[in-house]
Amino acid sequence: AQSVTQPDIHITVSEGASLELRCNYSYGATPYLFWYVQSPGQGLQLLLKYFSGDTLVQGIKGFEAEFKRSQSSFNLRKPSVHWSDAAEYFCAVGVSGGYNKLIFGAGTRLAVHP
Amino acid sequence: EAQVTQNPRYLITVTGKKLTVTCSQNMNHEYMSWYRQDPGLGLRQIYYSMNVEVTDKGDVPEGYKVSRKEKRNFPLILESPSPNQTSLYFCASRRSWDREADTQYFGPGTRLTVL
């Protein structure tokens, strides 16, 4: 069955430090992969997505993610975190066939220390 | 402005009292869906709609109903809410049902508490 695993429930980093959020997926076909961010009290905003081509994807707010098929991973990175990046981050895989839905991971909550 | 709107944003109700959460999008999207978000579980799909009058169950449909009479609206109906339906609900839309690479746009969420 298709699934998405985000191994880290909570992560705390200092402002200015680099960030990597992990995402592993289980899916038999070529995946469509997404990272969403949910700021407190807000809906989900798309950070970036991968569906083909270059495996290093650039997104908004200075984020990037790298698709590694051999590791079934799609980790999110940012070289220097800002206090405003504190939020919950969700990785999702787009499942084709049938009803073409998104399957989400459980999320990683990021705290940023000044 | 392209957006998905939901109402109400917050709702406290009692067990068994029917309620409807409205969802509307102004992007002429074919595909709409409802998710619930629970701690440690991420978002799980409740129902989805591929177009007007075409709806189907997602992963956690029990206790919910939907309808899609107009393209822009996709209300979520709880005929007899129970405390286990206390959750944060998101409506989402996507341009077409058959393009899973399309971006899915989310509403701001409705926090429902059932006492």
| B40–A106 C-beta distance less than 8 A | yes
| B108–A42 C-beta distance less than 8 A | yes
* pLDDT at position B99: 66
Please report, rounded to a whole number, the percentage of residues in chain B having pLDDT higher than 90.
79
Q: Helix (H, G, I), strand (E, B), or coil: what is residue B18?
A: coil
Find all residues with CB under 8 Å of B41, minimum gap 6, and list them. A106
Residue range B82-99: average pLDDT?
Answer: 90
Residue B98: pLDDT band (50, 70, 90) is low
Which of A36, A45, A94 has its CB closest to that of B101? Answer: A94
Find all residues with CB under 8 Å of B33, minimum gap 6, and list them. A101, B45, B46, B47, B48, B49, B58, B74, B91, B92, B93, B94, B104
Q: What confidence tens digit (pLDDT) does each residue in B35-69 have?
A: 999 988 989 999 999 899 999 999 899 999 999 99
| B43–A101 C-beta distance less than 8 A | no
| B101–A49 C-beta distance less than 8 A | yes
CB count in 10 Å sphere of residue B82: 11
| A46–B103 C-beta distance less than 8 A | yes
Residue range A1-29: average pLDDT?
Answer: 93
Please report, rounded to a whole number, the percentage of residues in chain A having pLDDT higher than 90.
72
Please report, rounded to a whole number, the percentage of residues in chain A having pLDDT higher than 70.
96
Cβ-Cβ contacts under 8 Å, A106 against chain B: 40-42
Q: What are the CA-CA distances from residue A52 to residues A66, B42, B106 (Å)?
A: 12, 25, 23
Which of A43, A90, A100 has its CB closest to that of B42? Answer: A90
Q: What confidence tens digit (pLDDT) does each residue in A40-61 have?
A: 878 899 999 998 888 999 999 9
Alpha carbons B74 and B68: distance in angstroms, whole number: 5
Tell me the pLDDT of chain B averaged across its residues.
93
* pLDDT at position A95: 76
Alpha carbons A65 and A74: distance in angstroms, whole number: 6
- Closest-CA distance of chain A to residue B110, Å: 9
Bridge partners, residue A48, by sequence: A35
